[in-house]
Amino acid sequence: MTGWTYYPDLLATPVPRYTSYPTAAEFSDRVGAPELDGALAAIRSDQPVSLYVHIPYCHEICWYCGCNTGAANKAQRLMGYLDTLRAEIELVAGKLAGRGRVKRIAFGGGSPNAISPEQFAELLEELRTAFHADDALLSIELDPRSLSGPWFEAIGAARIGRASLGVQTLEEKVQRSIGRIQPEPLIRTATDELRKAGVRSLNFDLMYGLPRQGLAELEATLASTIAMRPERIALFGYAHVPHLIPRQRQIDDDNLPDAEMRFAQAELGHRILTHAGYDPIGFDHYARPHDPMSLAARQGRLRRNFQGFTDDNAEVMIGLGASAISQFPGLIAQNEKNSGRYKIRVSSGLLPATHGIVRGADDQKRGRVIEQLLCDGEAEIREFFGRELIDRLQPFLDRGLVTLERGRLRMPDYGRPYARVIASLFDSYRQPAARRFSSAI
């Protein structure tokens, strides 16, 4: 396998992670509830639909986190939020009037286990009843620091087949630098108990580019992770944007690795994980060959949405909860982020979508090219040919990071670290050097 080569000039411009196209940076308040109402009304009776349920609370707030989440330190606050969430479920289910077939339900946050196991069981029962979704495949994001016996029992009783643990790093000095202390035995216990509860596809979220993290620290975390044998590993580059996320100001900039070290960490992770038998998925995920994610990648069915890389092929994803995002072929709509205003809208019988963007034909075509490049490493780009595009592609062509033949653009394995930059060449909205995006590696 050819190694990766570091070209700093090609990675100098921050770019989006492209969990959607157009990205959230293009959302406006000119799109909201009326557009979402129309999109829900257009769902066919037998159309596959996925649900995403957002719990915007955590027992402890980590300094690095960019999620829309708050402290779960008041029982009344959680109960009030869940009451509003149930009201939204009834509202959306009423709009669908039995149309659509819910095939998947994903719980994310924040931390879904910020609520009690009993509250989770009640919420799941409401979802299954409202959307006739008894057989839906279930997945959940979990904070291992607040997992206990009752939660493992609830996960088993719910028949949850997929779970994702927020691990980030197993090195104590790095954990202290990001405000997230969780000893390795805690992660091992959570892993063992989730297996016993019936979870068959377990993901570890890991990060590189963290403060006080060098190659040795990353390698140690990867070695321990591989020993626990999760089916999936997401290895993200930490996005340090304190001008957008105030809690990140607690992280000392002087302790962060530079761009060249981040590149070396990403390459080390790729080399170690692929050597351990994981298949590379897109530009930052890895999966064991038998996992559904890996099978989807080999069969050309891999997709990318707000949950990252996925084997979910549903064209419609309905987001429920404050800040949750709904995605349709022609529309992306985001719910009100503020929990108080979210409650006011739902209590008034209104869909809580307040931001979004209508995806025109050109958006959909460009979005598909971007998704194919990130998921499959290749795409047909003939429709976008022009002198400007070729000029922008030329530095990548010259260095062998892409090839172009008969209108088809392909990235070799060693082009992975440049995938987001290459994809951004097809983004008609992106402004050069925009500070709102994260490092390209």
| Per-residue confidence in pLDDT tens, the chain, 441 aa | 468 999 999 999 889 999 999 999 999 999 999 999 999 999 999 999 999 999 999 888 887 776 766 666 678 889 999 999 999 999 999 999 999 999 999 999 989 999 999 999 999 999 999 999 999 999 999 999 999 999 999 999 999 999 999 999 999 999 999 999 999 999 999 999 999 999 999 999 999 999 999 999 999 999 999 999 999 999 999 988 888 888 888 898 899 999 999 999 999 999 999 999 999 999 999 999 999 999 999 999 999 999 999 999 999 999 999 999 999 999 999 999 999 999 999 999 999 999 999 999 999 999 999 999 999 999 999 999 988 999 999 999 999 999 999 999 999 999 999 999 999 999 999 854 444 555 667
The whole-model pTM stands at: 0.93
Amino acid 59: pLDDT: 83
What is the rounded distance in angstroms from the CA atom of residue 151 to the CA atom of residue 128?
Answer: 19
Residue type, 424: S
How many Cα atoms within 13 Å fall on the side-chain side of residue 17? 15
242, 196 in Cβ contact below 8 A?
no
What is the rounded distance in angstroms from the CA atom of residue 101 to the CA atom of residue 276?
Answer: 38
Tokens 């709009």, residue located: 95
Amino acid 434: pLDDT: 44
Structure tokens at 128: 């299954």
Kindly report the number of other CB atoms within 10 A of residue 311's CB atom.
20
How many Cα atoms within 13 Å fall on the side-chain side of residue 235? 34
What is the rounded distance in angstroms from the CA atom of residue 188 to the CA atom of residue 422?
Answer: 38
Q: What is the pLDDT of residues 91-116, one digit of tens each?
A: 999 999 999 999 999 999 989 999 99
What is the rounded distance in angstroms from the CA atom of residue 34 to the CA atom of residue 42?
Answer: 13
Q: Kindly report the CA angle at 28 between 305 and 35, in degrees rounded to 5?
A: 75
Q: What is the pLDDT of residues 191-225, one digit of tens each?
A: 999 999 999 999 999 999 999 999 999 999 999 99
Which residues on adjacent β-strands are paired with residue 408?
380, 405
316, 43 in Cβ contact below 8 A?
yes
What is the rounded distance in angstroms from the CA atom of residue 289 to the CA atom of residue 363?
Answer: 33
